Amino acid sequence: MSVIEVQGLTKSFRTYKKNPGLSGAIKGLFHREYEMTLAVKDVSFSVEEGELVGFLGPNGAGKTTTLKMLSGLLYPTSGSAKVLGYVPWERKDGYRRQFALLLGQKNQLWWDLPARESLELNARIYGIPKDSFERTVAEMTALLTVEDKLNVMVRELSLGERMKMELIASLLHQPKVLFLDEPTIGLDVVSQKTVREFLRHHNAKRKTTILLTSHYMADIQELCQRVIIIDHGTIFFDGRLSRVLDRFADFKLITIQCDGGSQCPAEILKKYGEVVEHSEAAIKLKVKRDRVIPVCKALLDELPVSDIDIEEVPIEDIIRQIFAR
């Protein structure tokens, strides 16, 4: 049985259109114009227990709105959803004790208290025994390398340290489902790597089902085998990350180094593929997947090649092209 089941989920918002100036404000008192915005449109998917799924899309695609509906913060306009057998927006106590939502741009820790006191408050709310609380906090702070920051005021923590504490607060009650919305936003590369390793470890150990949104493709590549891509509120891809390459990138990049760059003019190289870079140091070609082997053979036979390298197109470039469509 799927942990998350979503069928035809739709959410629309009615927004007021105000005309500029004082006259527009006075006119709005007597006659208002509204427009309907579909944030999420007929979204359907399911997630199995223990899956770590990437939820991708450009800004305004409907990712956060979907997570908020699955967390019970928003009521859908139509459609249905069940998480752990519960309807999220009914907000039953049994469900609220089994999931967590972490929004990268929202704080749940008390700003003027040390992080430990906020965690202790959460432990009281969820009825976590003291020995279990101490053991969990010790384990998570060690993994996230913030053991020495527990007694520091939240306002005095760096962005990376605060986000790690927010992550601990979300996982303190050992939820079965975790919704993460941009958990590494604004973090430096070291903090991003630490958070990714922590999430991978937690998912493997606890079998927590995780739905992750991120604009950092390193997060998705390192953590998620499956991705759901949404744009304009509608899902248009749901499958393994490797299939994104097969479906949306039908070419590879071939980089060669010649004994003399001048011996490889661009005019000659065009017959092998699209010339992406051409310098004395290296030449990079974009070649169709089905032509990679014969092109490599021809390059080695016809040109003074001293080194050759074949690579996939960076996944972030592919996602960027998909969003641009």
Return mean pLDDT, the chain.
86
**Residue 50 pLDDT > 70, yes or no?**
yes
| DSSP calls for 188-230 | -HHHHHHHHHHHHHHHHHH--EEEEE-S-HHHHHHH-SEEEEE
Domain boundaries, the chain: 4-245, 249-324
Mean pLDDT on 187-196: 87
Q: Give the tens place of pLDDT for each residue, 300-324.
A: 888 888 888 888 777 767 777 777 7
Mean pLDDT on 223-250: 85
Mean pLDDT on 174-198: 89
The tokens describing 224, both together, are 């998620």
- 310, β-bridge pairs: 254
pLDDT number for residue 250: 77
Sheet arrangement for strand 234-240: 99-103, 177-181, 209-213, 52-56, 226-231, 234-240
**Residue 325 pLDDT > 90, yes or no?**
no
Q: Which CATH class is domain 4-245?
A: alpha beta
Mean pLDDT on 204-211: 92
DSSP 153: B
What CATH number does the domain located at 249-324 have? 3.30.70.980
* Cα–Cα dist 172/123, whole Å: 7
Q: Give the tens place of pLDDT for each residue, 52-97.
A: 999 988 888 889 999 999 999 999 999 999 999 999 999 999 999 9
**Sign of the Cα pseudo-torsion (28, 32, 33, 35, in order):** positive
* Cα–Cα dist 150/109, whole Å: 12
pLDDT number for residue 260: 58
Sheet arrangement for strand 78-83: 33-47, 4-17, 78-83
pLDDT number for residue 288: 85
**In 10 A of CB 8, how many CB atoms?**
13
Helices (H), the chain: 21-30, 63-70, 93-96, 115-126, 130-143, 159-171, 189-206, 217-223, 241-248, 266-269, 292-302, 315-324
* Cα–Cα dist 5/1, whole Å: 9
Mean pLDDT on 148-173: 91
Residue 271 identity (one-letter amino acid): K
pLDDT band at 8 (very low <50, low <70, confident <90, very high): very high
pLDDT band at 18 (very low <50, low <70, confident <90, very high): confident
